Amino acid sequence: MPVVKAVTCPVCGSLCDDIELTIEDKEIVKVKNGCAMCESKFLNYNGKHRIRKPLIRKDGKLVKATLKEAVRKTAEILAEANYPILYGWSSTSCEATRVGLELAEEVGGVIDNTAVVCHGPSLLSVQEIGISSCTLGQIRHRADLVIYWGSDPWSAHPRHIERYTTFSEGRFERSEWRGYVAKIKASIGRKKIESVLRRLFLKKKPTVPSSYLEGRVCPTISREGRKLIVIDVRRTKSAEMADYFIQVEPNKDYELLQAFRALIRDQELDVDKVAGVPVEYLEEVSDAMVGCNFGALFFGVGLTMSRGKLRNIDAALSLVRDLNTRTKFIIMPMRGHFNVAGANTVSTWQTGYPYAVDFSLGYPRYNPGETSVVDVLMRKESDAALIVASDPVANFPRKAAEHLVENPLVVVDPHMNATAHMADVVLPSAFVGIEASGTAYRMDHVPLPLKRVAEPPRGVLPDEEILRRILSEVRKIKRKKQVAAEAQ
């Protein structure tokens, strides 16, 4: 049975590129090295929700059509629209996004990617403050302090800790995996002894340990080796693994970040607690931050989408900038979709802006809040939409989704998702990274190749090819219109 090695996983922003797939009768039968999400995608991508034929809505029902008909209908919708939106792009290849941008310019629409509902605020703040960052390889080999703020890598980026941070075996920093296993074993042993004692002698109710170690100084914060700090509103699975966990009150991240900034600058605070955390603990953590040789702060949607949004990131970026006056520190957003960083990168090198680009005046304009898709939909301004590799009906605010489906809607997706069910035209596409090759950018902006390891269903094309055909058809319609106008 052929085994394909070094496959890049098209699931999350970690973009693990050490996956080994066993292929039997043109089907993937075994996945090695992948996390649960990776295995699930590679083994089940071709399930019952797969769209195999193009569909067009006729008399209220989606009926099968030829690819030519569907492309023609899509081109008509886009060419006639006065303010169309083109949304998605984060779960497809950079090559497809490039064609999408060309199409957006041709039809004078608004092109936006899923960053608008995840790390858009991060991009806005990076433009104001700047970012001190590096590649994940640097972190793997050198970072001795890793902070995850508002993100739970154990659940959302399962191999991030193992491949790039605390549990990875770096050239200059050892993995903390053994220490964690020992800690778990000790914890299980302690719980067992406590349980036995409780049942036999004391008959006491179990005590709930305080988040802040009942007033004692954390013993692990000052130990040698790689340290992991988790800051979140709840005790996540990642927090269980951390040397130090700070439970911040919901929507108080900005206050906590600003307090850290002041403490790092050796300033005294007038208050005793910030965001529910005693200042003495914050001092301890800020000492650890200043005392490390190479620190890395990863932040997730918990920071970008909680109250304060881009200003939370503004404070986080400023904190890292301040820390760099004392030690080496970097910051990196935990990107969700496997190629959301690629969608931003391609959009930036094509238009100058990473997302929410408006071509309605013939040149790219950018002002999230004004030109971002969710806001355009909430104000009911668009009159048609093309959705590529995304499901906005399932995750946009209800009012936005309502306006999206009220107008002509085209979906290019491998799956029959909620948006496809509401669409006027559905174009099936091949899975990028499984049935189509391409390029994707990892969360640290390293481009990686996506491999084609299986055949798509007959007649199903990759996103890039479908978009090229739509673009060519739109150009034909526009040329005809121009000729007709000149004749008049």
Question: Considering the rule CB under 8 A, would residue 177 count as an interface residue with another protein?
Answer: no
Whole-number Å distance between alpha carbons of 309 and 251: 10
SS3 244: strand
Phi, psi of 140 (to 5 degrees): -55, -45
Among residues 58, 204, 265, 399, the one that binds another protein under rule CB under 8 A: 265
SS3 142: helix
Question: Considering the rule CB under 8 A, would residue 364 count as an interface residue with another protein?
Answer: no
Q: Which stretch binds another protein (CB under 8 A): 54-62, 159-167, 314-322, 436-444?
A: 314-322
CA 230 centroid distance within chain: 19
The DSSP result for 190-236, as a single string, is HHHHHHHHIIIII-PPPPPPPTTGGGPPPSGGGSSS-EEEEEESS--
**End-to-end CA separation in angstroms for the chain:** 66
Contact between 362 and 328 (Cβ < 8 Å): no
Question: Considering the rule CB under 8 A, would residue 224 count as an interface residue with another protein?
Answer: no
Q: Which of residues 98-137 bind another protein (CB under 8 A)?
A: 107-109, 124, 127-128
Q: Which stretch binds another protein (CB under 8 A): 221-229, 252-260, 337-345, 465-473?
A: 252-260
Question: Considering the rule CB under 8 A, would residue 329 count as an interface residue with another protein?
Answer: no
Question: Considering the rule CB under 8 A, would residue 485 count as an interface residue with another protein?
Answer: no
Question: Considering the rule CB under 8 A, would residue 318 count as an interface residue with another protein?
Answer: yes
Give the ranges where 337-383 is alpha helix by DSSP (H).
340-351, 373-378
Q: Which stretch binds another protein (CB under 8 A): 90-98, 218-226, 379-387, 410-418?
A: 379-387
Question: Considering the rule CB under 8 A, would residue 254 count as an interface residue with another protein?
Answer: yes
Burial of 361 (0-12, 13-18, 19+ CB in 10 A): exposed
Q: Which residues of 120-157 are buried (b: 16+ CB within 10 A; e: fewer)?
A: bbbbbbbeebebbbbebebbbebbbbbbbbbbbbbebb
Give the ranges where 108-222 is alpha helix by DSSP (H).
120-129, 136-142, 153-156, 160-164, 177-197
Q: Which of residues 384-443 bind another protein (CB under 8 A)?
A: none
Cβ of residue 259: shortest distance to another protein, in angstroms? 5
Question: Considering the rule CB under 8 A, would residue 366 count as an interface residue with another protein?
Answer: yes
Residues composing the chain:
488
Residues that bind another protein (rule: CB under 8 A) add up to a total of 40
Q: Which residues pair with 23 in a beta bridge?
A: 28
**Phi-psi map region of 369: left, alpha, beta (phi>0 left; psi -120 to 50 alpha):** left
Question: Considering the rule CB under 8 A, would residue 258 count as an interface residue with another protein?
Answer: yes
Q: Which stretch binds another protein (CB under 8 A): 80-88, 177-185, 188-196, 203-211?
A: 80-88
- Cβ closer to another protein: 236 or 382? 382
Among residues 17, 95, 176, 255, the one that binds another protein under rule CB under 8 A: 255
Cβ of residue 161: shortest distance to another protein, in angstroms? 30
Question: What is the token pair recorded at 144?
Answer: 């001795």
Question: Considering the rule CB under 8 A, would residue 179 count as an interface residue with another protein?
Answer: no
Question: Considering the rule CB under 8 A, would residue 274 count as an interface residue with another protein?
Answer: yes
Question: Considering the rule CB under 8 A, would residue 194 count as an interface residue with another protein?
Answer: no
Contact between 464 and 97 (Cβ < 8 Å): no
Among residues 259, 290, 320, 426, the one that binds another protein under rule CB under 8 A: 259
Question: Considering the rule CB under 8 A, would residue 150 count as an interface residue with another protein?
Answer: no
- Cβ closer to another protein: 294 or 329? 329
- Cβ closer to another protein: 253 or 391? 253
- Cβ closer to another protein: 23 or 378? 378
Phi, psi of 30 (to 5 degrees): -145, 140
**Where do contacts with another protein occur on this chain (CB under 8 A)?**
81-83, 107-109, 124, 127-128, 254-255, 258-259, 261-262, 265, 267, 269-271, 274, 307-308, 311, 314, 318, 322, 359-362, 366-370, 379-381, 383
